[in-house]
Amino acid sequence: MPAVEPVNVAIVYYSATGSVHALAKAAAEGAEKAGATVRLRKVRELAPPEAINANPAWAQHIQDSADTAEAVLDDLGWADALLLGTPTRFGNPASQLRAFLETTGPLWAQGKLADKVCSAFTASNTPHGGQESTILALSNTFYHWGGIIVPPGYTDPIQFKSGNPYGTSHVAGRGAPSDETLAAARHQARRVVDTAAALKAGRATTA
């Protein structure tokens, strides 16, 4: 049987004030612990400086995340599994992440986004502020790509505490992500890696 390479995971996210960044880092830890090779990538900031500078937390996060590489199309092509993270913006993904996704047409047209394991996570200010609708909105794109959507469901005891089967979700209005929410992000990433690893191994036997 041919040796199976580790799963490649791209964690691509947007974060203005750091909450989603914290979830993305936890997801990266979970994926690495599960044996994956991980690329943690922020999408390009598109807001004008006057908007950013009017919010000290936003300006601070831009400085704090200066060392995180920006996502490019090759990160998606390279990945066996994709974890997308975004703040909830009026019940939808942030335009910065959408703008990046809308550059993926050339990859999509070549079928290079098909058959990847896909999952998503979010943060919103309030508990009923649209977390599920944001994650489901990202799923629309996964469907178009031909992705294999793997939600966390209630597949681990942490899910009964953190409480979102659609994808890890943080209520930013309550402060920084709790240990439980970070554990849920690690679990979600582990589940994504395990699924992608099984698919990769199965494909290697039929190649």
Ligand X SMILES: Cc1cc2nc3c(=O)[nH]c(=O)nc-3n(C[C@H](O)[C@H](O)[C@H](O)COP(=O)(O)O)c2cc1C
Instruction: Tell me whether residue 77 or residue 91 sits nearer to ligand X (CB atom).
Output: 91
Instruction: Tell me whether residue 47 or residue 107 sits nearer to ligand X (CB atom).
Output: 47
Q: How far apart are CA 159 and CA 150, in angstroms?
A: 14
Instruction: Tell me whether residue 89 or residue 186 sits nearer to ligand X (CB atom).
Output: 89
Instruction: Tell me whether residue 177 or residue 197 sits nearer to ligand X (CB atom).
Output: 177
Give min distance, CB of 48 to ligand X, in A. Answer: 14
Give min distance, CB of 137 to ligand X, in A. Answer: 12
Q: How far apart are CA 168 and CA 159, in angstroms?
A: 9
CA distances from 69 to 118, 122, 197 (A): 21, 20, 25
Give min distance, CB of 192 to ligand X, in A. Answer: 20
Give me the residues that bind ligand X (CB under 6 A), please: 15-21, 87-91, 123-126, 129-130, 172
Rg over alpha carbons for the chain, rounded to the nearest Å, is 16
